[in-house]
Amino acid sequence: MSDRILAGGLLAAGLVIAAWILAPALHSIGQSDHYVEVKGLAEREVPANLAIWPLVYSATGNDLPQVQATIEQDAERILTFLVAQGFEPDDISRSPPRITDKLSQQYGGGGAVRGSRYTAEATVLLRTEQIQPLRRAQQQAGELVRSGVVLMHQWGAQTQFLYTDLNAIKPDMIAEATRNGREAAARFAEDSGATVGRLLRARQGLFSITDRDPYSPEIKRIRVVSTLEYQLVDD
**pLDDT of residue 92 exceeding 70:** yes
Where b means 16+ CB within 10 Å and e means fewer, 12-31 reads eeeeeeeeeeeeeeeeeeee
Q: Which residue type is seen at 161?
A: F
pLDDT tens profile 47-67:
999 999 999 999 999 999 999
pLDDT for the residue numbered 157: 73
Please list the alpha-helical segments (H only) found in the chain.
2-32, 64-84, 102-105, 131-139, 142-146, 166-192
pLDDT for the residue numbered 106: 63
The CA angle 140-165-210, to the nearest 5 degrees, is 65
**pLDDT of residue 109 exceeding 90:** no
- Assign 70 a pLDDT band (cuts: 50, 70, 90): very high
| Global pTM value | 0.76
**pLDDT of residue 84 exceeding 80:** yes
Question: For all residues of the chain together, what is the average pLDDT?
Answer: 85
Distance CA 165, CA 168 (A): 6
Q: Which among 104-113, 146-155, 209-218 has the top mean pLDDT? A: 209-218
Backbone angles phi, psi at 165, to 5 degrees: -110, 40
**pLDDT of residue 71 exceeding 50:** yes
Cα of 223 vs its chain's centroid, Å: 9
Distance CA 113, CA 186 (A): 76
Sorted by where each starts, the structural domains of the chain and their CATH numbers stand as 33-47+165-234 (3.30.110.170), 50-162 (3.30.70.2970)
pLDDT tens profile 178-195:
999 999 999 999 988 899
Query: In the chain, pLDDT over 90 holds for what percent of residues?
Result: 72
- Assign 19 a pLDDT band (cuts: 50, 70, 90): very low
